[in-house]
């Protein structure tokens, strides 16, 4: 199948970007979006043209590195699916693809489809962790956690930090990402001691780099981990809880 690709080209953050059009003549329905880019880059390198830069790692929908915007939608047309798992067979009538980097003020373009997502790392550094006693590991059953609570924690820990929720939000908000971290750690006994301090740290850092929540829920529609909107509500809930606590934790 013949696929026409409009790819965003930008040499660096300070350079002016533009779309350039290419054609892949031998694409197949089994190809993922990243494999189509691989094929395109093979052709460009053979013609001594700089390949289109893009991020990828596991290509199994786990790492979140591959995120791009496809025809105006983060990751692509299939809901809740990362770019590396979007295959041409999922949209067989498509003969034209428009590929862009994740668009958000907090994600400066590094080159072509590659963006700097270190703003997400700063949120994690601020409070996405727990303090535990160092030394010999305790018994696995020393801290009992109810099954339902552990499953909830795992559901929100599934966030892969791809940034699609931020790119989908017209305000560039990171509430789904930040809320997933807050709910994940608040559900576990290990994180309760620092719960209020964590809420203040994460929301404070989030507000420095990202915009306000749009309240429309675009973020949940594109999240590959299927994080629900309870995570967005958790940002305000955890912040209010921290504010009303008499003794800061």
Name the residue ranges covered by the structural domains of the chain. Answer: 3-111, 118-244
To the nearest whole number, what is the mean pLDDT of the chain? 92
| Collapsed DSSP state (helix, strand, coil) of residue 5 | strand
Report pLDDT digits (tens) over 46-95: 999 999 999 999 999 999 999 999 999 999 999 999 999 999 998 877 78
Model pTM above 0.85: yes
The per-residue pLDDT for 246 is 57
Separation CA 34–CA 193 (nearest Å): 43
Model confidence at 248: pLDDT above 60: no
**In the chain, what percentage of residues exceed pLDDT 70?**
98
Task: Tell me which CATH code domain 3-111 carries.
Answer: 3.10.20.30
Separation CA 140–CA 144 (nearest Å): 9
Whether 118-244 and 3-111 are alike in CATH topology: the answer is no
Distance from the first to the final alpha carbon of the chain: 59
For domain 118-244, the question of CATH label 1.10.1060.10 is answered with yes
Question: Tokens 């428009």 — which residue?
Answer: 98
Separation CA 137–CA 104 (nearest Å): 41
């Amino acid at each position: 199948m013949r696929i026409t690709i409009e790819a965003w080209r930008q040499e660096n953050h300070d350079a002016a970007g533009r779309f350039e059009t290419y054609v892949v003549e031998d694409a197949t329905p089994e190809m993922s979006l990243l494999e189509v880019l691989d094929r395109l880059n093979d052709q460009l390198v053979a013609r001594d043209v700089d390949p289109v830069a893009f991020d990828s790692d596991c290509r199994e929908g786990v790492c979140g590195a591959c995120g791009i915007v496809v025809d105006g939608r983060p990751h692509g047309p299939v809901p809740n699916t990362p770019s590396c798992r979007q295959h041409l067979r999922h949209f067989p009538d498509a003969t034209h693809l428009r590929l862009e980097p994740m668009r958000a003020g907090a994600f400066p373009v590094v080159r072509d489809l590659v963006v700097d997502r270190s703003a997400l790392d700063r949120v994690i550094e601020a409070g996405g962790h727990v303090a535990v006693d160092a030394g010999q590991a305790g018994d696995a059953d020393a801290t009992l956690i109810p099954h339902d609570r552990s499953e909830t924690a795992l559901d929100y820990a599934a966030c892969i930090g791809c940034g699609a929720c931020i790119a989908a939000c017209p305000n560039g908000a990171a509430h789904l990402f930040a809320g997933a971290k807050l709910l994940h750690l608040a559900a576990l006994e290990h994180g309760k001691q620092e719960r209020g301090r964590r809420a203040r740290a994460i929301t404070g850092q989030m507000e420095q780099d990202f915009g306000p929540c749009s309240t429309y829920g675009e973020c949940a529609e594109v999240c590959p981990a299927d994080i629900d909107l309870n995570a967005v509500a958790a940002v305000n809930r955890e912040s209010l809880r921290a504010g009303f606590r008499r003794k800061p934790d």
